[in-house]
Chain A
Amino acid sequence: MTTVPAPTRPLEQVYAAHPEKKVTLYFLVTGLVLLLIGVAIGPLQALNYAGIDVYRYLPFLKSYYQGLSLHGVLNALVFTTYFISGLLLYLPCRDLKVRPNLVVAWSAYWIMTAGVLMAAWATLSNNATLLYTFYPPLMGSPLFYIGAALLVVGSLIIGVQVTLIWTIWKREHPGEVTPLVAFMSVATWMMWLLASLGLVVEVAFLLIPWSLGWTAGVDPLLARTLFWYTGHPIVYFWVLPAYISWYALLPSTAGGKIASETMARLSFVLFLLLSVPVGLHHQYADTGIAAPWKIIQMLLTFLVVIPSLLTAFSVGASLDIAARARGGRGWIGWTRFLPWKNPVFTAQVLAMISFIPGGAGGVVNASAALDSAVHNTAWIPGHFHITVGTATTLTFFGISFWLLPHLTRKPLASVKAALWASWLWFWGMIIFAVGMHWEGLIGIPRRTYLATATGLGDLIARAHIPMALTGISGVVLMFASIFYFYVIFATLLGKARVPESAEMPIPFSESLEQAEARAAGISPAGMKIAGAVRLLDRLWIFAALAALLVALMYGPVLIDLGLNAHPLPGLRLW
């Protein structure tokens, strides 16, 4: 008797129906591999903030600051940019049922990758130990700046591509309203196109020519202001993709509905309008910038809190709907009816929970008077590890638990390990945040090779408990990372693929309005569309208004700095 071997499908067939899956997968996996390197250094830093020095045993890192440069750049800049470029290319295209031009998408991928390799070379050879903010007059290798520019250019190519795809879609579908996920993605990209300008100008016109020796100096304050022009809205570029998932994908994972589409759209339009002209809140402590501008941007920063509070409401409501649909009841008891055994769900809900203290801490930082108590202390990394480090990163983990199986048709290697990764990451980061915020309140500065600092004895004497917590969190997070990357690589390296019919679907969710219409027997085409939704769909107009607001809020500051520039030569002090 002979057995006929099951027909093996050539790999490419997995992408046959949707070849954009492959480029998406490349973006995601490259981002995750680079995250692995960045995250591997994290626990060492946590130990440093516990007063334990492991750096002297590490031959491959020249200094704490070289490690910190890698950690900040790879995690916050590189991983996020790759992941978001893949995700916010794929989702809106699927939502609009349009295939993106693959040559463009692949060029973006390779430009980014070339840039990352250049910057990595410079950093690994200790020629760009500048930390991820690369403030002049510290001057690194030109390769670092060129690489950073290419990374941004890659993301801008995808941003322009998606925006154009949507613009053409609108023209071809007159009278139709953009579906929610595409709408949010385009709003996010428009925000990023506007927000990245500062960094692009800083790097292309100031830092690259200067590091190549073509110009003699750079004004540090002008460069820093351009950096933070992008440096704050970049956090919305990190968090809005997570919001897209919470608003529009998680309800389906949880078994519920989007609570209100109109409000979801409103909050994204508010983000587009208000996200950018707020960067001066990173410069409250700077000498050389007048107080009134700082205060106006403080007000704008507070206004961006509003769409985040809307998100909290909507997302909470949709989880409540989901749980009650599954039989949940009571004030708190309903939460037990949510699908906690599903890591896609659990990772994202834990990410949201971490964002409650994360957002509250952000309000503290944004309040100039309170900021003076925490600026540049360990409080700040405490804050952003429960925002970008958890709200965004853990959400992306949750997304990867369905998206990688969806793209590859390989089942998730281990649901258990994925759940462990999620819970350990969440608790690790909560402990980390307690430790670091507390150290900061005692006055311990951030970005410090603390384990060898000699002059901080009195502060350290008061910080034993928070330092111990920080050290413990580093160990917990190391285990979380091991579980996570095990799941990811075991999934990717797995051999079995499910047939096309069993492909993990994209969890696009239905809104309550749509569900009600369906129940009433109204076809989707026949649904009455609220006037507000039509108005909000004119994203180009809101983008133009946003640009105008930016010009008003930043124009005078930048012109003044440009006219009074005091260029300084570069220094290498590491």
Chain B
Amino acid sequence: MLDHHTIEKYELGWLALSAVLVTLLFVGVISSMLTQTLPGIFTRQASYLDPAKLAGTPFAAPGLKAAPDGSLDAYVVARAFQFQPNVLRVPAGQAVTLHIVAVDVIHGLMLGQGNVNLELMPGHIATLKTRFNHPGTYTSQCHEYCGAGHQTMTFKLIVEAPE
């Protein structure tokens, strides 16, 4: 049987190895984030909108909007128990800025593509610029419990191939 000094020596080696592994993991995750795997994580500004006062903001008529310069902005409102719009069509390969806000309780949205997974705190607008490259229909659903109709709160992202 090993004596306790020897075991401690091995264990200190294991401790050092653990520290190295953890460091590598951290470096790996940070590099992945720096290469924009998580769209908008560093640029999401803290913008707050009083959820009672959507009128006069682009969220009053949510949906996809093209600016005169051709850039695309998609506005989505989450409220119990519906996303507005609940089907969002975007062209594949083009940059789109998503603006999503919940207006009553917390809701959540994960899109089937592009690592978009958001916890929508009421009033805090999630703004992120991304690009959907793979055409298709991506079904998802509100993923934060919001009440009795939570399971009916679906969302479809349709990424359309260019003609």
Contact = CB atoms under 8 A, between A and B. Distances in A.
Contact of A288 (B15, B46, B117): B46
B147 A574 contact: yes
Interface in A487-516: 511-513, 516
Interface residues of B, number: 64
Interface string B136-150: 010111111111111
A262 interface: yes
Interface of B is mostly: mixed
* Interface bin, chain A: 35 or more
Nearest to A66: B148
B18 A306 contact: yes
Contacts of A454: 152, 154
A285 B121 CA distance: 10
Interface in A286-302: 286-288, 290-291, 295, 298-299, 302
B159 to A, nearest CB: 14
A367 B25 contact: yes
B108 A443 contact: no
A574 B148 contact: yes
Contacts, number: 199
A373 B118 contact: no
A65 B33 contact: no
Contacts of A449: 150-151
A325 interface: yes
Contact of B108 (A285, A452, A453, A459): A285
Interface stretch (A98-106, A109-117, A309-317, A537-545): A309-317
A279 B65 CA distance: 37
B51 interface: yes
Contact of B124 (A221, A305, A372, A574): A221
A309 B16 CA distance: 11
A377 interface: yes
Most buried by A among B4, B38, B149, B154: B4
Contacts of B104: 137, 571, 573
Contacts of A459: 139-140
Contacts of B10: 313, 317
A260 B25 contact: no
Contact of B1 (A310, A324, A376, A453): A324
Given A138-B105, A568-B51, A285 B150 contact: no
A4 interface: no
B1 A325 contact: yes
Nearest to A324: B1
A64 B4 CA distance: 53
A193 to B, nearest CB: 27
Contacts of A465: none
A111 B61 CA distance: 52
Interface in B38-69: 38, 41-42, 44, 46, 48, 50-51
A309 B69 CA distance: 54
B115 interface: yes
B108 A376 contact: yes
B72 interface: no
Nearest to A458: B139
A299 B26 contact: yes
Contacts of B30: 295
A5 interface: no
A375 interface: yes
B141 A445 contact: yes
Nearest to B39: A372
Contacts of A137: 104-106, 122
Contact of B143 (A138, A363, A446): A446
B158 interface: no
Given A459-B139, A566-B48, A573-B147, A305 B105 contact: no
Nearest to B32: A369
A418 to B, nearest CB: 30
B46 A303 contact: no
Interface of B: 1-4, 7-8, 10-11, 14-15, 18-19, 22, 25-26, 29-30, 32-33, 37-38, 41-42, 44, 46, 48, 50-51, 80, 104-106, 108, 110, 112, 115-126, 137, 139-152, 154, 156
